[in-house]
Amino acid sequence: MKQKKGPKLPRYLMERANTDEESQPVTAEDFYDEAVKFEDSADRFFSSDLSKALRFYNKAHQSYLKSLNIQPIPDALYNLPRLEFDIYNKYTKDDAVIISDLNQCEQIIQENILLKPIDHICQRFEECSDLVGEPDPEIGEDLWWNGALCWFEYVESLCESNEESTKIIKAFQKSIQLFEKVLNIFEWKISSGSVVDYNNFTRLLGDCYRLSSVTCENFSDKDSIESISAIECYFLEKIDTLTQAYLESGISEEAAIELKLAKISERSAKILSFDELIFVWNQDTTLINNLEKKLLEGSSFRTFLDRFEDINDILKWEILGKMSVLYREIYEELRDQISNLEKIQHSENDLLSNKIALLCSVTIERADIELERSLLNLPVAIKNIESLKNNNRNILKNAIVFSKKSGGIKESAVGKLTRAKKQREAVIRLCIIDEKSQEEISVILSKYWTFELNDLCEIDAYKRFFS
């Protein structure tokens, strides 16, 4: 799933007119303006120096707090949780960023004021909303949207941690409530003839569908799915109505595809039969060759395998076989795209780097599929076991080669870290299947070996190596 990133207040709402002379901040507005400047500096440094960026984000955070200690002005009330959520997405959530590797940030980490867990940030948004009350539409749209995304992130983290369903449902309902407020603002803008950012509208509808998808994917029984459907009934009906009207209004092909795929993902998350799952993903023939569709379809197959532990080996072989074919197609297409991008010396920002990282992820998934197939207790698997194991090893070696490709002269610091992370994911797999000792692994992966080993222990195909 794509990283959720909420809207940020336009500069004209964030920063007041500059004074002719620089002076020490005194008022709440002064500290707010100082915070905005620190945050702008952090944003500029983020692409090249994560440590320096975090130090500026920390200064911005401190200035927002000082502003609020003097007076709870609405702009600072909104920007404080928004900044904390932004930092969560950039530093805490991104597993390519190792916080302990950051330079001169020890005090920031030890103080534990800036790098907050997602449930704390959700509560910060709640407090902010209570104090702001009913803001003007421009601030309200951003405040509630970011709040909805924050609760959405909390839903996802609860699902990943296998928390009790009541906790998940409560966070799910909270996210729905905030998304509905944002949808109401867009409905008002459209009906009143106000200026509407339709790119944002597309993103909003997609976010709403994805909230439903992520929540439903955590449950594997019909009763739970029906309970969630009952909770989201009005919400989903509203999204469907807005989406259908939007699709019929002559929107861009790119926006139409994004919304169609979001809707298919939402439907697929409620399906408990693999035959039905295949049908849903292939119902719209206009999307058959779309790369994003293939990626989402492959991801839904993986989710299906993870949800239902009692799948027999015959069906598992069928699913893994379809995934193998699908990811091979994705692999070929991504490799061609990367080859074309490499010919462009000044490719846009991290476009090349992101494609390389995605290719590495796809390649690692292909390797895992081959290993899983080799472990099945079926005549066809037993017959081809050596071939499947060799495929697993060779594909992992390819992933390592791809991870070493240059992301271009404009590759960001995060882009480089992400490629390094993908390389470690492939290397640790090779170490395990080659039965390297703990000492050997620690030498090969240095201080990162424990991170990678802990992650690998959670993947079913590799659990047998640790038993």
Give residue 19's pLDDT: 47
Q: Report, as ranges of residue numbers, the positions in the chain whose pLDDT lies below 70.
A: 1-22, 135, 345-348
Kindly state the tokens that stand for 61.
């955070």
Distance CA 333, CA 438 (A): 37
Kindly state the tokens that stand for 215.
């929540």
**What pTM was estimated for this model as a whole?**
0.92
Give residue 140's pLDDT: 82
3-state secondary structure of 386: helix
Single-letter residue type at 276: E
Q: Check if the beta carbon of residue 451 is closer than 8 Å to that of residue 98.
A: yes
Tens digits of residue pLDDT in 356-372: 999 999 999 999 999 99
3-state secondary structure of 325: helix
Contacting residues for 28 by C-beta, under 8 A, at least 6 apart: 67, 68, 70, 71, 73, 76
DSSP state at residue 405: S
Q: Check if the beta carbon of residue 187 is closer than 8 Å to that of residue 242.
A: yes
Cα–Cα separations (whole angstroms), residue 129 to 148, 149, 353:
12, 14, 38
Q: Check if the beta carbon of residue 246 is closer than 8 Å to that of residue 259.
A: yes
Domain boundaries, the chain: 1-133, 135-299, 311-467
Q: How many CB atoms lie under 10 A from the CB of residue 355?
A: 21
Q: Check if the beta carbon of residue 356 is closer than 8 Å to that of residue 338.
A: yes
Give residue 4's pLDDT: 55
CA-based radius of gyration for the chain: 24
Distance CA 81, CA 85 (A): 6
Q: How many CB atoms lie under 10 A from the CB of residue 335?
A: 16
Q: How many CB atoms lie under 10 A from the CB of residue 120?
A: 12
Distance CA 105, CA 179 (A): 35
Q: Is 463 exposed, middle or buried (0-12, 13-18, 19+ CB in 10 A)?
A: exposed
Residue with tokens 């699902």: 159
Residue length of the chain = 467
Q: Check if the beta carbon of residue 212 is closer than 8 Å to that of residue 237.
A: no
Q: Check if the beta carbon of residue 399 is closer than 8 Å to that of residue 424.
A: no
pLDDT above 90 covers a percentage of the chain that reads 84
* DSSP per-residue codes, 338-361: HHHHHT-TT-STTHHHHHHHHHHH
Contacting residues for 461 by C-beta, under 8 A, at least 6 apart: 368, 371, 372, 375
